[in-house]
């Protein structure tokens, strides 16, 4: 992979070659609105039935749904990451299937198993898809999707769960607005001096990124952003608890101001760079952990930066952090000349 070149972030010809990838990032809000426009009648048509014994989510973004539901869901919730279903699932349980692709073998297996056991099923998938076909039953509600966006499907499912009195209220429109605001601020047409996503891409260009979020949702965003950074750099971008990241930071040697890069040669190990995902959670434990991370960085001259979510409901702040981080990863990949397909 080539060295990072920040001039690529301002070169219109270079940016044009990444137009499809940047456009997909920028259209997150539009996809949310498209899915909501098509599915809102189905969602609002749901009525609370007998409370399920448990809720089981399979498919992409199952852990996001768990992060939102766990504090308020009146029944146990499981995000199941493997094919099939837990052995105890039966007619008393509600199975959520998020299958925006519609043909994943593992999700087809889960759909078959849920149908065979007589479980109630809430599925977000294209109407003409293998998963929807195998999940069809009298106890199944299909929320049709069309954009292939797992995040949009998750928002539809969360809105549906609220109608079933199993989750908090969800405003898909406010989440879409939050995504639009990030896209506007991080647009490739906004130059580097005013574009924080481009600026942070430059900051982490020669570093080993460490990404941390203190709340449940910001930690989820941190994991997603770290994954995006790994995909474009091939580096070991790490998202972990504060104590684990502090251990990495403390193991870093302080910067030697007298080092001569020509005589000593470049160091093989990249210095860490900490990115804090701040969604506005003001709990004492979150604040204490954030302070400890910044103090650890200061002691060994490790750079730390903060992505802030601003105001709004929990999911809007989550999407703000997620999209900001994804734009940073995209511009980092562009500066490195990498593919953004991952």
* Averages of pLDDT over each 10 residues, the chain, 342 residues: 89 95 96 96 88 94 93 94 93 96 91 96 95 93 95 96 95 97 96 95 94 96 96 92 96 73 57 95 91 96 94 94 98 92 65
Which of 300, 303, 302, 274 minimizes the C-alpha distance to 289? 274
pLDDT value for 257: 66
The answer to whether position 250 is within a domain reads yes
Are 239 and 298 part of one and the same domain? yes
Q: Residue 236 belongs to what domain range?
A: 189-257+266-336
Note the pTM of the prediction, 2 decimals.
0.93
The answer to whether position 134 is within a domain reads yes
Name, in order, each residue with C-beta under 8 angstroms of 57's C-beta and a sequence gap of 6 or more: 65, 66, 77, 78, 79, 80, 95, 96, 98, 157
pLDDT value for 340: 84
The answer to whether position 21 is within a domain reads no
Of 174, 197, 218, the residue that ends a domain is 174
pLDDT value for 339: 84
Q: How many residues does the chain have?
A: 342
pLDDT value for 262: 55
Number of domains composing the chain: 2
pLDDT value for 313: 92
Which of 237, 57, 83, 9 minimizes the C-alpha distance to 160? 57
Helices 28-44, 172-185: inter-axial angle, 10-degree rounding: 180
Q: Are 44 and 73 in contact (CB under 8 A)?
A: no
- Whole-angstrom Cα distance, residue 29 to residue 192? 23
pLDDT value for 29: 97
The answer to whether position 137 is within a domain reads yes
- Whole-angstrom Cα distance, residue 67 to residue 219? 10
b/e string for 71-87 if b means 16 or more Cβ within 10 A? eebeeebbbbeeeebee
DSSP H helical ranges for 77-233: 105-116, 130-135, 150-163, 172-185, 196-203, 216-233
pLDDT value for 281: 85
Are 213 and 128 part of one and the same domain? no
Secondary structure (3-state) at 306 = strand
pLDDT value for 137: 92
Of 174, 202, 224, the residue that ends a domain is 174
Secondary structure (3-state) at 214 = coil
What six digits make up the tokens of 58? 């399979």
What six digits make up the tokens of 73? 């869901």
Question: How open is the CA angle 284-280-219, to the nearest 5 degrees?
Answer: 80
The answer to whether position 193 is within a domain reads yes
Name, in order, each residue with C-beta under 8 angstroms of 280's C-beta and a sequence gap of 6 or more: 308, 309, 310, 311, 317
pLDDT value for 102: 84
Of 174, 201, 231, the residue that ends a domain is 174
Are 103 and 205 part of one and the same domain? no
- The CATH number of the domain holding residue 318 is 3.40.50.10490
């Amino acid at each position: 992979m080539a060295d990072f070149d920040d001039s690529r972030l301002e070169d219109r010809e270079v940016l044009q070659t990444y137009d499809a990838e940047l456009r997909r990032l920028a259209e997150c809000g539009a996809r949310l609105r498209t899915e909501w426009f098509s599915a809102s009648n189905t969602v609002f048509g749901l009525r609370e039935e007998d409370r399920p014994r448990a809720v089981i989510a399979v498919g992409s973004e199952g852990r996001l749904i768990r992060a939102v539901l766990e504090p308020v869901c009146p029944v146990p919730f499981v995000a199941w990451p493997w094919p099939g279903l837990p052995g105890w699932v039966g007619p008393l349980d509600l199975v959520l299937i998020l299958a925006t692709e519609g043909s994943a073998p593992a999700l087809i297996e889960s759909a078959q198993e849920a149908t065979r056991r007589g479980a109630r099923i809430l599925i977000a998938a294209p109407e003409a898809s293998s998963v929807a076909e195998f999940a069809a039953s009298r106890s199944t509600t299909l929320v049709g999707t069309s954009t292939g966006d797992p995040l949009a499907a998750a928002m539809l499912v969360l809105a549906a769960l609220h109608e079933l009195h199993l989750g908090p209220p969800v405003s898909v429109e406010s989440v879409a607005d939050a995504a639009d605001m990030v896209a506007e601020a991080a647009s490739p047409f906004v130059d580097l001096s005013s574009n924080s996503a481009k600026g942070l891409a430059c900051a982490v260009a020669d570093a080993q990124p460490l990404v941390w979020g203190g709340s449940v949702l910001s930690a989820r965003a941190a994991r997603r952003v770290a994954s995006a950074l790994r995909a474009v750099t091939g580096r070991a971008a790490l998202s972990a608890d504060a104590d684990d990241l502090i251990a990495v930071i403390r193991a870093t040697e302080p910067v030697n101001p007298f080092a001569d890069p020509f005589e000593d040669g470049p160091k093989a190990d990249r210095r860490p760079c900490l990115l804090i995902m701040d969604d506005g959670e003001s709990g004492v434990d979150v604040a204490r952990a954030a302070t400890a991370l910044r103090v650890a960085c200061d002691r060994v001259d490790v750079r730390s930066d903060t992505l802030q979510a601003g105001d709004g409901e929990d999911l809007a702040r989550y999407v703000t952090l997620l999209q900001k981080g994804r734009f940073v990863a995209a511009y980092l990949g562009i500066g490195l000349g990498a593919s953004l397909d991952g």
